[in-house]
Chains A and B, each alone.
Chain A
Amino acid sequence: MERRLYFLVGDLLSNVGVGALVGLVVVSLVAETWPPVLGMVAGMLVGDLVALPAAVALSVPFGAMEIMLPVMTTGMVSGMAVGMLAAMGVVQTGQSAAVGAIAGLLVLAATYGLNAHLRARV
């Protein structure tokens, strides 16, 4: 597991920040009149479109695959979650950023766990 503070903070800020940003973008695009499944799929696509350039930019200071893969996953997951909740009319702008940030935190924790599991198997 990564133990250097610079990269730990970079990973955290990247995933929480991109998650919140995706949440804000998706909630502004998905209307309450949409079916939740449509909101989820649209949120996933928009999330990845927002996350891709962010991941490329963040990889410059914080590392390549270690940023690209979790941040792209964060974009996908937070977009899906916020898209579905926005279509159901249960999140407002501020809440969408919080949901996206929490999704980013969970994705980061999951990738850290998977990484530790894969490295421990060798």
Chain B
Amino acid sequence: MDTSTSQKWDSAVRGYDLMNGVGPERRWAPWKRRLFSGMDGKVLFMAVGTGQDIQFFPPGRDITAIDISEKMLERARPRAAAYDGRLELRHLDVHDLDYPEATFDQVFTSCTFCSVPDPVNGLRVLRRVLKPGGTIGMFEHTGSRCFPFNLMLNLMTPLTRCLGPELNRDTPANVRQAGYIDVRVEPVYLDVVKVIHAVAPA
């Protein structure tokens, strides 16, 4: 377990729902609901946080949701208990996933790979636990290629890194580097907020 990252997110739990629960979640609700509507089979949801995304999960699914922060998971438990389906919460670091190879049919993430310290390695671990041909669906914010947004995101990243996320990552490139195929990117807002679909090779 990466204790420094775990502690960083433990300490972020207090203001997390306030900062993200109203504006961002309401704004992104239609896209998240659409992405998660494709959940099927045995699903791994990475970095469930305080469980704000559980409201967008379709009912009746078999989902394992992990997070590196125990305090975030404490907040997520009532939301998980209210889910109409099978939803197991586990305190796990993506780098230490203890599932056998090819366990899951699908992996989903939501604003996660801005914060994973070693994103390419984390994506490789997820690829290992995905069945061959299994899919990953990601709702992520990334850096931008458009001026002046790229300048702003680059300038803000040293500050935001202390709190959690990096704002200038190229997550689609990381997905390709981690060995996924059929990588498809769907913009949600500018070239910054996006949905990424990819497939674990057979």
A residues at B contact (CB < 8 Å) = 6-7, 10, 59-69, 72-73, 76, 111, 114-115, 118-119, 122
If over half of A's interface residues share one DSSP class (helix, strand or loop), that class is named, otherwise mixed; here it is helix
CB-based contact B27/A73 at 8 Å: no
- What are 14 A-B pairs with beta-carbon distances under 8 A? A6-B26, A59-B24, A60-B22, A60-B23, A62-B27, A65-B141, A65-B192, A67-B23, A68-B152, A69-B152, A72-B152, A73-B148, A118-B191, A122-B187
Report the count of interface residues on B (CB-CB < 8 A).
23
Task: Count A-B contacts at CB 8 Å.
Answer: 57
Interface bits B47-78 vs A (CB < 8 Å: 1, else 0):
00000000000000000000000000000000
CB-based contact A111/B23 at 8 Å: no
Nearest chain A CB to B71 CB, angstrom units: 21
Contacts of A72 on B, CB cut-off 8 Å? Answer: 152
A73 CA / B192 CA spacing, docked (Å): 15
CB-based contact A63/B24 at 8 Å: yes
Contacts of A119 on B, CB cut-off 8 Å? Answer: 187
CB-based contact B187/A73 at 8 Å: no
Interface bits B18-30 vs A (CB < 8 Å: 1, else 0):
1110111011100
CB-based contact A7/B187 at 8 Å: no
> In the complex, which of the residues B23, B28, B185 contacts A62, with contact meaning CB atoms closer than 8 Å?
B23
Contacts of B141 on A, CB cut-off 8 Å? Answer: 64-65
